[in-house]
Amino acid sequence: MEEIKIQGGNTVSELKLVGIGPGSPDYVTDIAKRAVQSAEIVIGAQRALDLFKDYINGEMLCLTAKNVKEGLVYGAKSAQKGKNVVILSTGDPGFSGLLGSLLNFAGKQIDVEVIPGVSSLQLCAARLRMRWDTALLLSFHADVTDEKKSMLVEFLKYGKTVMLLPDPNSFGPCEVAKYLIDQGLNPETSISVCENLSLENERVATSTLGEVLEQEFEKLCVIVVRAKQQTEE
């Protein structure tokens, strides 16, 4: 694995990792727009680039599932050479975003400015009018491990709330519900699925684990499972 290190001292990195929010232009921050506007190179998935099409003045590089490593390394190298580079990350870069990948692929000593964005978790909590400072947060986007699944079950059996990003290919809402029932949770346990948050086809549905087994959901969603009814403050 190639490692890029940007040294301290008089060298100033111009690499910014910018959170773009949940998908709607309404949730893009002004600081994110300004960063993109002044960038010489903007790197991101096509959906992210489209969101900033009116603000991009420099070179564009589209990230795909096949070129993420190469794209992030290219951005780091360009910043090291003095280029003003912006890398766009869905939601907030620090939660199931590109921050981890950037540090892994481009070196942990890289000098990068992280500009946070509104995450889908934040918007989900707002839609459900729930406090989420005591909830367990889990992301299955990158991997579906037995350890994470065990944490999910353990927390719920203690009567806590869990917010999670499912893996749409192998651990979506229906698979989550089936797994929890198989692990002994009551089929009447409350579950909320927030789909396509901030987009025109947004949908928020609250039902039970048992009812979810018979439903279909979009790939872009956040799940909230509450093992017992809680009074929100």
Residues 103 and 187 occupy one common structural domain:
no
Within a domain: 231: no
Q: How far apart are CA 20 and CA 80, in angstroms?
A: 24
Residues 114 and 59 occupy one common structural domain:
yes
Residues 110 and 96 occupy one common structural domain:
yes
DSSP class of 163: E
Which of 4-13, 141-150, 208-217 has the weakest average pLDDT? 4-13
Query: Which is nearest to 224 in space by CA: 196, 194, 200, 202?
Result: 194
pLDDT at 193: 97
Q: Which of 68, 95, 118 is the last residue of a domain?
A: 118
Within a domain: 7: no
Give the domain extent around 127.
121-226
Residues 29 and 50 occupy one common structural domain:
yes
Q: Which of 91, 118, 145 is the last residue of a domain?
A: 118
Q: How far apart are CA 75 and CA 43, in angstroms?
A: 7
Q: Give the pLDDT confidence of 39-52 residue by residue, as tens digits.
A: 999 999 999 999 99
Residues 114 and 126 occupy one common structural domain:
no
More reliable by pLDDT, 34 or 103: 34
Q: Give the pLDDT confidence of 101-126 residue by residue, as tens digits.
A: 998 887 666 789 999 999 999 999 99
Number of domains in the chain: 2
pLDDT at 109: 64
Which of 49-58, 141-150, 195-204 has the weakest average pLDDT? 141-150
Residues 93 and 154 occupy one common structural domain:
no
Within a domain: 183: yes
Residues 113 and 157 occupy one common structural domain:
no
pLDDT at 80: 87
Q: How far apart are CA 101 and CA 205, in angstroms?
A: 32
Within a domain: 89: yes
The domain spanning residue 137 has which CATH number?
3.30.950.10
Q: What are the structure tokens assigned to 118, written together?
A: 């509104």
Within a domain: 172: yes
- Residue 18: phi and psi, rounded to 5, are -110, 125
Give the percent of the chain with pLDDT over 90: 81
Residue type, 93: P
pLDDT at 14: 80
* 8 Å CB contact between 116 and 30: no
* 8 Å CB contact between 87 and 18: yes
* 8 Å CB contact between 17 and 89: yes
Residues 112 and 31 occupy one common structural domain:
yes
Residues 84 and 142 occupy one common structural domain:
no
Summary mean pLDDT of the chain: 90
Residues 126 and 112 occupy one common structural domain:
no
Residues 79 and 137 occupy one common structural domain:
no
Question: Is residue 158 predicted with pLDDT exceeding 80?
Answer: yes
Tell the burial category of 60 from Cβ atoms under 10 Å away from its Cβ (0-12, 13-18, 19+).
Answer: middle
